Chains A and B, each alone.
Chain A
Amino acid sequence: IQLTQSPSSLSASVGDRVTITCRASQGISSYLAWYQQKPGKAPKLLIYAASTLQSGVPSRFSGSGSGTDFTLTISSLQPEDFATYYCQQLNSYPPTFGPGTKVDIK
């Protein structure tokens, strides 16, 4: 299953609302997760089951969608949110990741 993400990169300011889209090549129900990765660090799980917030993740992060179209929203961008975001499908083997969306400072 192929995943595409849009945009591939974006520039935003602190306080902005940011939305990242992930599209699957076939329906995956709600079997989707989102990760955040900062340079030189391991990825961090943010959301799973398309919309369930991982424990400890700030509530400004939210996820939605099912089937083939999904979104990750950051309601008010904070300085620590500048990173690359990946979606990942877990509907079937092999689990696959999207190409990533890099969020940087405007």
Chain B
Amino acid sequence: EVQLVESGGGLVQPGGSLRLSCAASGFTFSSYWMSWVRQAPGKGLEWVANIKQDGSEKYYVDSVKGRFTISRDNAKNSLYLQMNSLRAEDTAVYYCALERWDTAMVFDYWGQGTLVTVSS
């Protein structure tokens, strides 16, 4: 059974940093693209970033470029999102998502999400 478990969320002040983690199990992690998708409270879904199987390609939404870094450790079956220079508008539930093997950017499985709150 595919499982994605996010952690690392919490309350942080504007300008601060946070590192999210996603522990994956139940599939061959190193064979799949992985994404982060976020959802501000009461709002819709926004894709944040994704990373290729070997980490050689990474893509970001414009609003986080230069501030967020996606990475992965295939030996630990883990996905990460380093978030720096956080802003109030980054407040959201952050989901780790597994992309389909045959169709990039289709999110097959999702974690339960971790809440990031940026506030003073």
Contacts and interface: CB of A to CB of B under 8 A. Distances in A.
Interface of A: 33, 35, 37, 41-45, 48-49, 54, 86, 88, 90, 93-100
Contacts of B103: 48-49, 90
Interface in B72-115: 95, 100, 103-108, 110-113
A94 B112 contact: no
B108 A93 contact: no
Given A42-B112, A42-B113, A98 B104 contact: no
Q: How large is the interface on B (under 10, 10 to 19, 20 to 34, 35 or more residues)?
A: 20 to 34
A98 B60 CA distance: 18
Contacts of A45: 106-108
Nearest to A54: B108
Given A42-B95, A97-B44, A90 B113 contact: no
Interface of B: 44-47, 59-62, 95, 100, 103-108, 110-113
A90 B105 CA distance: 6
Contacts, number: 51
Given A49-B103, A90-B105, A93-B59, A42 B111 contact: yes
Contacts of B46: 97
Contacts of A90: 103-106
B23 to A, nearest CB: 15
A35 to B, nearest CB: 8
Nearest to A5: B44
A97 B45 contact: yes
Best-surrounded residue of A41, A88, A99 (most CB of chain B within 10 A) = A88
Contact of B45 (A49, A86, A93): A86
Nearest to B93: A42
A88 B45 CA distance: 9
B109 to A, nearest CB: 8
Given A42-B111, A94-B47, 11 more contacts: A33-B106, A42-B95, A44-B110, A45-B106, A48-B106, A86-B44, A88-B106, A88-B107, A90-B106, A95-B105, A98-B44
